[in-house]
Amino acid sequence: MGESILKGFSKYTKQQRIDALIQKYGFQEDLANWLESFENSDISIQKIIDDLSENPVSNFHLPFSIAPNFVVNGKNLFFPLVSEESSVVAALANAAGFWAKRGGFHAEVLGTEKKGQVHFIWNGNPEYLQSLFLEIRDKLFDESAYLTAKMEERGGGITGIELKSLPHIYPNYFQLDAGFETCDAMGANFINSCLEQFGKSLQNFFQTSEKISTGQRECEIIMAILSNYTPESRVRAWVECPIAKLLEGKSPLECELFARKFEQAIRIAQADVSRAVTHNKGIFNGIDALAVATGNDFRAIEACGHAFAARNGQYTGLTDVRIQDGKFYFSIELTLAVGVIGGVTAVHPLAKLAMQILDNPSAKELMMYLTVAGMASNFGAVKALVSVGIQQGHMKMHLSNIMNQLKIPEIHRHKIQEYFQDKTVSYSAVEEYWKNKRT
């Protein structure tokens, strides 16, 4: 029959959790030592890492990498990146160096408003409720003042609250749709606290106002939660250079051909969903790597970006290109919400270092850097795709991973790299070659 359900697992000690693993999967008894070898020798750091999640048994390592030469609005920065995909950092570093020689990246924040909703059911007339809304809104502002005072001191707070009647989604369904400014914080706790307070104030209004008839005092709050879709928290970034300067050591004709193919690739991503998803995945390769390094919630950033990509009813590529008067102009517009204070950013030692490497940016600056990372990653990918293809770069990284797996000593690696330069790289091909070399 089925296995017994483990109860209270979250209260187990680390050793008990590891014992449970050994018991269930038959791992060797020394699993604990092996798992411990991935942990930090400084117990205070290990405690910070353990506390980031629930039920940890060890640390899962990913490389913390650096892509230098990111010139953004004239400022020269190293970008800290965490990615498990080896070619991502290489693509970002190449694109950064490429554009550093051509004026760098330009970026501007177009807005920073975040959103959240209280979803509720009320069995009454929407127009009548709308006519009472100014009064309700004042009550919501007043009764959440204890939550907003500090944020207002920092220049943020609630930017607006609207009432929406949405019976096409559900009979008698309404939303309080609120906007927030959270300054340098991601603000999730602030927003959710305000929304939950709005829900209570709203119910209180229905229960106590003499303008509500006795039969309509019931207001059912379905949920109160921030939205990760933040269409008004928006960034634009761009690069530009003369077409003739697009490729080093190539003729103007070759540069023009490259620009044309690049433009075609962008147009295809804008029109075809199959290509758009991969195109945008390439953009998020860069954004996520910087978001993870700085302790930001990359799932929220991705979800928002993909929704923005479909804002006109069709999912499209997020970058754009214009070729005009001999100039190549490549740009991106993106919605994303990030924080630079609180959360993992303030706790994880490497996220803190990442922020220092970025010169302790404001939330607006980090929004621009993330957008630039996405654009750089996309430029690197599309540049490779329309010229040499991506396999050349990928295979170099793939070969290096295979050599690691086969534990090939460093002194032999260069020869193997040379040999595979014009051959298809696969685990079995490298294994075979290495076997023959040694016999």
Which residues of the shown chain bind ligand MEV in the complex (CB under 6 A)?
85, 278-279, 281-282, 285, 381-382, 385, 390
In this structure, the dihedral spanned by the alpha carbons of residues 180, 182, 183 and 184, taken in order and rounded to 10 degrees, is -150
User: What's the token pair of residue 373?
Assistant: 């990372």
- CB nearer to ligand MEV: give 87 or 233: 87
Cα separation, 266 vs 382, in Å, equals 8
- CB nearer to ligand MEV: give 241 or 390: 390
CB of residue 365 vs ligand MEV: minimum separation in angstroms?
26
- CB nearer to ligand MEV: give 260 or 415: 260
Cα separation, 232 vs 156, in Å, equals 15
Give Cα 417 to chain centroid, integer Å: 34
Cα separation, 260 vs 416, in Å, equals 36
- CB nearer to ligand MEV: give 30 or 85: 85
Angle at 106 between CA 104 and CA 110, to 5 degrees: 165
CB of residue 329 vs ligand MEV: minimum separation in angstroms?
19
Cα separation, 262 vs 372, in Å, equals 18
**Ranges of H-type helices in 145-187:** 145-153
CB of residue 325 vs ligand MEV: minimum separation in angstroms?
27
- CB nearer to ligand MEV: give 85 or 135: 85
Q: Which amino acid is present at 435?
A: K
In 3D, which of 233, 227, 231, 234 has the Cα closest to residue 115? Answer: 227
CB of residue 281 vs ligand MEV: minimum separation in angstroms?
6
The residue nearest ligand MEV at its CB is 282
- CB nearer to ligand MEV: give 67 or 191: 67
Backbone angle region of 234, left / alpha / beta, with phi > 0 → left and psi within -120 to 50 → alpha: beta
CB of residue 268 vs ligand MEV: minimum separation in angstroms?
11
Residue 177, Cβ density class (10 Å: 0-12 exposed, 13-18 middle, ≥19 buried)? middle
Angle at 433 between CA 428 and CA 439, to 5 degrees: 125
CB of residue 285 vs ligand MEV: minimum separation in angstroms?
5
DSSP state of 219: E
| Sign of the alpha-carbon torsion through 51, 53, 55, 61 | negative
CB of residue 260 vs ligand MEV: minimum separation in angstroms?
17
- CB nearer to ligand MEV: give 234 or 279: 279
DSSP state of 223: E
Cα separation, 31 vs 19, in Å, equals 9
- CB nearer to ligand MEV: give 300 or 386: 386
- CB nearer to ligand MEV: give 179 or 286: 286
CB of residue 394 vs ligand MEV: minimum separation in angstroms?
8
CB of residue 385 vs ligand MEV: minimum separation in angstroms?
6
In 3D, which of 140, 61, 142, 48 has the Cα closest to residue 347? Answer: 48
CB of residue 317 vs ligand MEV: minimum separation in angstroms?
9
- CB nearer to ligand MEV: give 357 or 390: 390
- CB nearer to ligand MEV: give 144 or 280: 280
Cα separation, 72 vs 91, in Å, equals 17
Q: What is the edge-to-edge ordering of all strands in the sheet holding 319-324? A: 106-112, 233-242, 327-335, 319-324
Place of tokens 């654009």: 375
β partners of residue 173: 121
CB of residue 397 vs ligand MEV: minimum separation in angstroms?
11
